């Protein structure tokens, strides 16, 4: 069985993808060898397939992706809010409904206002 120490070593040395590939290969071999033994195949799949193990790198990637999406959303909303404020200040209120739906026009105005 693959233990936490080995898992950490692979993650730290950047070999987590190698581990994933080896895991898939082991599952394929076990499926072939134990093709008539459903319980054994399921047990091996559960252990090697990730129900028992989760690489730290996989967890960190998912966490980073979620965090990045949240940051991007806040930045986008802030940028759009700034654009709308500038349009209001310049009495260009007719542009506001347009920028809410027209990405091309919105980008033009971002450039115009250096946002």
As a whole number of angstroms, the distance between CA 79 and CA 97 comes to 16
Render pLDDT for 40-64 as a digit per residue (tens, 0 to 9).
666 666 665 555 445 566 677 888 8
Whether residue 87 contacts residue 109, with contact meaning beta carbons closer than 8 Å, is answered with yes
pLDDT value for 52: 45
Render pLDDT for 83-107 as a digit per residue (tens, 0 to 9).
999 999 999 999 999 999 999 999 9
């Amino acid at each position: 069985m693959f233990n936490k120490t080995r898992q950490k070593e692979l993650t730290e040395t950047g070999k987590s993808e190698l581990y994933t590939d080896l895991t898939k290969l082991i599952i394929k071999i076990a499926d072939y060898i134990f093709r008539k033994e459903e319980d054994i195949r399921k047990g091996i799949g559960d252990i090697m397939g990730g129900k028992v193990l989760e690489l730290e790198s996989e967890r960190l990637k998912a966490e980073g992706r979620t965090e990045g999406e949240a940051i991007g959303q806040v930045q986008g909303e802030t940028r759009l809010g700034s654009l709308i404020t500038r349009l209001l200040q310049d009495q260009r209120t007719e542009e506001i409904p347009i920028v809410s739906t027209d990405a091309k026009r919105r980008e033009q105005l971002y450039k115009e206002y250096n946002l």
